[in-house]
DNA sequence: GCAAAAGTGTTATCCCTACACCCATGA
DNA sequence: TCATGGGTGTAGGGATAACACTTTTGC
């Protein structure tokens, strides 16, 4: 097989998988079993296979290391500082992904014995430049809240408008007006009432909504 | 030197360099001297050196192949379809770059005998997936017009507001209201009157402006 | 009946849009 | 003096932001 006469670095994908849980934006980290950075926390990710698309690699690595699949995933940025891995030149295509807390079912797999959620406000020391990746992903997520329906990918199949509002408030880190919020998200025309209501304590039950076309990302306003 | 036991693809950067010239958005293409796609048009770009940052690689390749340097450059997206190069797996980190037409001084260099500007509306057949890269870059540029001062990077050191408006109109492909346009860009507070005026035909001379902090990208509105 | 969250409209303000005329110059 | 692009302000409309009370339930 032909090889171009040029350096051939290792190439990985890394995935910042977010959810909102316990009133916090959280990200999945795995504890590394092998050097470098053995026993440190890192993002799930790994080497791109020879006949594998980059997106597919991110999906596969996430599934292998956390057991999670079928969620929203988007390419974020490519990090290639020559010394970002102490052993060899490794270029990583970073992705970010979103899932509902309700779908939580972390399955630690072969090369990541421990996978766990961590609040982004309280991260442990991270391997490589993964802190930078998370920071950039968080920034992108916050920016996309303003002009897309990306946050719907953080919601379970059925949810109340108050729950949706909480997700927005947690990511933007500021309170929102209830009536204005409802007007805005309903204007997106992406949500549908289910007939059901959620009873949840000693107060009026809340209508449950679902996303009309799940997985779709609408650009709005 | 250590090598991770994984596939090691070739990695390149490719750069979509835009300017506005002759009432058109144009992009630099080079004619390929070597296979694959010999004699076809392609974006400037090339392999990432072993100790080289990705951004630096893009800057270097652009300089080597076109003689152009010192301009605005931003990472766009990473393309990694396994078969995007017929010879070997090649992953490319695509960049886009902007320059003023006034700075035009294409210097064809060693591995790109012919470098030339092409209107994006009338591109020749392109090597690899470079047509996709250009399309995405153009889309990103148009989107960024609406919420940043990115277009200022397409302007020469001194320019009139009418010239700036033309650049916006060409990229957005629609006419804009002169008074509203001026109000908006002046509100960015990024432009400064020079005392000078440009005399240009039998009509009132236009004030020349400059960007207060060139190279800076402000997020606005 | 009381506590607690759900649900709902109106008004004021701001921003964006539409729009037309005078100015300075060269020929 | 006329043709050409440069330069300027205002008014109306639409969208956003501020704001408070009633409803339904569990205890």
Dist CA A99 CA B129 (whole Å): 31
In contact, B19 and B104? CB cutoff 8 Å? yes
Interchain CB distance below 8 Å, A93 and B80: yes
pLDDT at position A149 = 97
Q: Is the pLDDT of residue A138 over 60?
A: yes
The 10s digit of each residue's pLDDT in A37-49 is 999 999 999 999 9
pLDDT mean over A22-36: 94
Categorize the per-residue pLDDT at A202 as very low, low, confident or very high, splitting at 50, 70 and 90: very high
Q: Which residues of B fall below an 8 Å CB-CB distance to A? A: 1-4, 6-11, 47-54, 75, 77-78, 80-82, 87-91, 93
Q: Chain A residues with CB inside 8 Å of B2's CB?
A: 87-88
Instruction: Say which nucleotide is closest to residue B199, CA to C1' distance.
Output: C25
Dist CA A10 CA A39 (whole Å): 22
Chain B closest-CA separation from residue A96 CA (Å) = 14
Residues 127-156 of A with CB under 7 A from strand C: none
Name the one residue in this structure whose structure tokens are 């946050």. Answer: A151
DSSP per residue over A53-93, as a string?
-HHHHHHHHHHHHH---S-EEEEEEEE--TTSSSSS-EEEE
pLDDT at position A110 = 44
In contact, B12 and B48? CB cutoff 8 Å? yes
DSSP per residue over A86-140, as a string?
SSS-EEEEEEEEE--GGG-----BTTBSEEEEEETTS---BSTTHHHHHHHHHHH
Tally of helices (H runs) and strands (E runs) in chain B = 4, 9
Q: Chain A residues with CB inside 8 Å of B87's CB?
A: 2, 4
A206 three-class SS: strand
Instruction: Say which nucleotide is closest to residue A180, CA to C1' distance.
Output: D17
Tell me which nucleotides of strand C come within 7 A of a protein CB. 3-10, 16-20, 23-27
pLDDT at position B103 = 80
The 10s digit of each residue's pLDDT in A58-70 is 999 999 999 899 9
Q: Is the pLDDT of residue A108 over 70?
A: no
pLDDT at position B108 = 56
Interchain CB distance below 8 Å, B50 and A89: yes
Q: Is the pLDDT of residue A157 over 90?
A: yes
Distances in Å between the Cα of B95 and the Cα atoms of A63, A110, A117, B12, B16 are: 30, 36, 33, 11, 6
Dist CA A28 CA A48 (whole Å): 20
B201 touches strand C (CB under 7 A): yes
A207 touches strand C (CB under 7 A): yes
Instruction: Say which nucleotide is closest to residue B206, CA to C1' distance.
Output: D6
Interchain CB distance below 8 Å, B9 and A54: no
Candidate from A112-116, A124-128, B157-161, B205-209 with smallest mean pLDDT:
A112-116
Where helices occur in chain B by DSSP H, the ranges are 54-66, 130-145, 161-172, 178-187
Dist CA A120 CA A24 (whole Å): 8
- Give the mean pLDDT of chain A: 94
Residue B22: how many CB atoms within 10 A of its CB?
A: 10
Dist CA A191 CA B214 (whole Å): 44
H/E segment holding residue A179: helix A178-187
Residue nearest D5 (alpha carbon to C1'): B203
Interchain CB distance below 8 Å, A88 and B53: no
Query: φ, ψ for residue A119 (rounded to 5)?
Result: -65, 140
H/E segment holding residue A168: helix A161-172
Categorize the per-residue pLDDT at A1 as very low, low, confident or very high, splitting at 50, 70 and 90: confident
Closest CA to B12 of B177, B116, B127: B127
pLDDT in tens, chain B (221 residues): 899 999 999 999 999 999 999 999 999 999 998 999 999 999 999 999 999 999 999 999 999 999 899 999 999 999 999 999 999 999 999 999 999 998 877 665 544 458 899 999 999 999 999 999 999 999 999 999 999 999 999 999 999 999 999 999 999 999 999 999 999 999 999 999 999 999 999 999 999 999 999 989 999 88
pTM, two decimal places: 0.95
H/E segment holding residue A143: helix A130-145
In contact, B28 and B101? CB cutoff 8 Å? no
Q: Is the pLDDT of residue A7 over 60?
A: yes
In contact, B135 and B27? CB cutoff 8 Å? no
| Omega within 30 of 0 (cis) for the link into A54 | no
In contact, A58 and A47? CB cutoff 8 Å? no
What percent of chain A lies above the pLDDT cut of 90? 90
Chain B closest-CA separation from residue A76 CA (Å) = 8
Dist CA A41 CA A127 (whole Å): 6
Minimal Cβ distance to A2: which of B2, B81, B88 = B88
């Amino acid at each position: 097989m032909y090889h171009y006469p040029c350096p051939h670095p290792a190439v990985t994908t890394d995935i910042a998988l977010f959810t909102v849980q316990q009133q916090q934006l959280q990200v999945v980290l795995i504890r590394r079993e092998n050097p470098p950075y053995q026993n440190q926390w890192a993002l799930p990710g790994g080497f791109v296979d020879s006949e594998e698309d980059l997106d597919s690699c991110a999906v596969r690595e996430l599934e292998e290391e956390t057991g999670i699949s079928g969620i929203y995933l988007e390419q974020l940025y490519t990090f290639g500082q020559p010394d970002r891995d102490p052993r060899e030149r490794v270029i990583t295509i970073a992705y970010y992904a979103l899932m509902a807390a309700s779908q939580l079912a972390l399955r630690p797999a072969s090369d990541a014995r421990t996978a766990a959620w961590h609040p982004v406000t309280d991260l442990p020391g991270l391997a490589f430049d993964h802190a930078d990746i998370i920071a950039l992903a968080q920034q992108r997520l916050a920016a996309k809240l303003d002009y897309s329906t990306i946050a719907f990918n953080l919601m379970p199949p059925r949810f109340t408008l108050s729950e949706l509002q909480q997700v927005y408030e947690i990511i933007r880190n500021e309170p929102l007006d209830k009536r204005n919020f409802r007007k805005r998200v309903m204007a997106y025309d992406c949500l549908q009432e289910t007939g059901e209501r959620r009873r949840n304590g000693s107060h009026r039950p809340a209508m449950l909504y679902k996303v009309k076309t799940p997985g779709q990302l609408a650009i709005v306003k």
